[in-house]
């Protein structure tokens, strides 16, 4: 008799060169919980086809944003719980078991986010990872958060239906999703030990700056209704101030990382590059603010 699927693992994919490694890390989990694996998107390398018997592959006719891909996967999922991982990540061996245990133990509906770890062979890739995920690195304490990253996130079907899925923006969809969950009274719980390895393909300076600009351009912090809950400073509420004071704003992030979050010393050599990345983010963010001001 076939066991009922408890967890649906959903992987958005847009031609990732390591999506097969992602799938292998999920299929090889140390867990007795019945689960299914759903990959959504496009795969020009044909890596997903190797797992035809073990993976449900929802092919899209054109590239879709990661949020839209996750929504398609969720619509096809049969599990009581949804677990998201990105196609440039490798799941730690007990990843499913840990997420499922915490979901089962919680008396209230929650969204669970796990830690992000990464290798340090390439300086630019490491700096990009530190810049993007410093709040979710392994040295951070477990506890409640206002935002959780969608590359390592679990929630029940009930919570998913309540929130309504991800938006279709090219970036920042997890921040929007998290804040809508908070507004719905759902706690966001972070445990760094439920980690994934993040292995993005960004290895050139141009890639880092483009990534930072896009994330600034689509940051939810430009939405006025979230200014108070996210403590958005005055300097980030006007496009001219954001540009003029971008070095000060970037330094503020560095201060947060080193003093408040206690970034381990072994990552300090990335801080000059992180500083530049955050300045570029400010320019993308200022572009978004300017568009909003022109529209108003």
Do 50 and 193 belong together in one domain? yes
Asked if residues 22 and 85 have their Cβ atoms less than 8 Å apart, the reply is yes
The residues near 270 (Cβ < 8 Å, ≥ 6 apart) are 123, 126, 127, 130, 131
pLDDT digits (tens, 9 = 90+) for 217-234: 999 999 888 888 888 899
Do 111 and 19 belong together in one domain? yes
The verdict on residue 2 lying in a domain is no
The verdict on residue 257 lying in a domain is yes
Instruction: Say if residue 279's pLDDT is above 70.
Output: yes
| Tally of domains within the chain | 2
Q: Residue 270 has what pLDDT?
A: 97
Do 175 and 212 belong together in one domain? no
Do 169 and 265 belong together in one domain? no
The verdict on residue 47 lying in a domain is yes
The verdict on residue 48 lying in a domain is yes
Q: Residue 296 has what pLDDT?
A: 64
Q: Can you point out the beta strands (E) in the chain?
A: 7-14, 35-42, 55-59, 81-85, 89-91, 110-117, 143-144, 152-156, 187-198
Q: Is beta strand 152-156 parallel, antiparallel or unpaired with respect to 110-117?
A: antiparallel
Closest Cα to residue 186, out of 217, 219, 208, 153? 153
Average pLDDT of span 30-50: 95
pLDDT digits (tens, 9 = 90+) for 17-38: 999 999 999 999 998 899 999 9
pLDDT digits (tens, 9 = 90+) for 233-249: 999 999 999 999 999 99
pLDDT digits (tens, 9 = 90+) for 152-211: 999 999 999 999 999 999 888 999 999 999 999 999 999 999 999 999 988 899 999 999
Do 157 and 33 belong together in one domain? yes
Paired tokens of 251: 């330094």
Closest Cα to residue 154, out of 111, 98, 91? 111
Average pLDDT of span 80-98: 97
Cα–Cα separations (whole angstroms), residue 24 to 14, 29, 34, 52, 86: 17, 9, 16, 13, 13
Q: Residue 1 has what pLDDT?
A: 46
Cα–Cα separations (whole angstroms), residue 7 to 10, 36, 103, 291: 10, 6, 11, 41
User: What residue spans of 18-122 are helical by DSSP H?
Assistant: 19-27, 66-76, 95-105
DSSP state of 33: S
Asked if residues 226 and 176 have their Cβ atoms less than 8 Å apart, the reply is no
d(CA 13, CA 10): 10
The verdict on residue 275 lying in a domain is yes
Domain that holds residue 216: 205-295
Instruction: Say if residue 295's pLDDT is above 80.
Output: no
Do 189 and 91 belong together in one domain? yes
Do 191 and 66 belong together in one domain? yes
Beta bridge partners of 85: 152
Confidence of residue 269 (pLDDT cuts 50, 70, 90): very high
Domain edge (last residue) among 198, 219, 238: 198
Do 25 and 56 belong together in one domain? yes
Domain edge (last residue) among 167, 198, 229: 198
Q: pTM here?
A: 0.93
Average pLDDT of span 103-117: 94
For the chain, what is the mean pLDDT? 94
The verdict on residue 1 lying in a domain is no
pLDDT digits (tens, 9 = 90+) for 116-150: 999 888 999 999 999 999 999 999 999 999 999 99
Q: The domain spanning residue 115 has which CATH number?
A: 3.90.550.10
Domain edge (last residue) among 198, 213, 246: 198
Do 35 and 130 belong together in one domain? yes
Do 181 and 104 belong together in one domain? yes
The verdict on residue 227 lying in a domain is yes
Do 140 and 113 belong together in one domain? yes
Q: Residue 2 has what pLDDT?
A: 59
Look-up of token digits 């445990």: 191
Closest Cα to residue 206, out of 121, 280, 282? 280
Do 17 and 137 belong together in one domain? yes
The verdict on residue 209 lying in a domain is yes
Residue 275, burial from CB neighbour count under 10 angstroms (0-12, 13-18, 19+): middle
């Amino acid at each position: 008799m076939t066991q009922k699927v408890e967890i649906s693992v959903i992987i958005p994919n847009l031609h990732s060169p390591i999506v097969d490694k992602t799938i292998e890390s999920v299929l090889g989990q140390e867990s007795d919980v019945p689960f299914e694996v759903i990959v959504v998107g496009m795969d020009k390398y044909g890596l997903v086809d190797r797992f035809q018997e073990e993976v449900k592959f929802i092919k899209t006719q054109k590239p879709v944003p990661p949020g839209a891909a996750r929504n398609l996967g969720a619509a096809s999922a049969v599990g009581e719980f949804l677990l998201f991982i990105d196609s440039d990540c490798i799941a730690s061996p007990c990843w499913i078991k840990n997420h499922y245990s915490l979901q089962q133990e919680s008396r209230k509906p929650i969204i669970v986010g796990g830690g992000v770890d990464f290798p340090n062979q390439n300086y630019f890739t490491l700096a990009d990872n530190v810049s993007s995920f410093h709040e979710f690195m392994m040295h951070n304490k477990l506890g409640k958060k206002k935002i959780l990253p969608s590359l390592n996130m679990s929630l029940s079907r009930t919570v998913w239906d309540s929130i309504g899925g991800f938006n279709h923006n090219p970036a920042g969809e997890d921040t929007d999703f998290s804040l809508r969950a908070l507004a719905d009274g759902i706690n966001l719980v972070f445990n760094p030990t439920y980690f994934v390895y993040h292995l993005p393909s960004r290895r050139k300076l141009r890639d880092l700056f483009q990534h930072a600009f896009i994330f600034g351009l689509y940051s939810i912090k430009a939405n006025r209704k979230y200014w108070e809950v996210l403590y958005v400073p005055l300097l980030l509420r006007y496009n001219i101030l954001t540009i003029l004071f971008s070095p000060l704003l970037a330094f503020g992030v560095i201060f947060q990382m080193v003093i408040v979050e206690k970034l381990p010393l072994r990552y300090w050599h990335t801080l000059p590059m992180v500083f530049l990345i955050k300045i570029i983010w400010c320019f993308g963010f200022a572009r978004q603010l300017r568009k909003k001001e022109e529209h108003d």
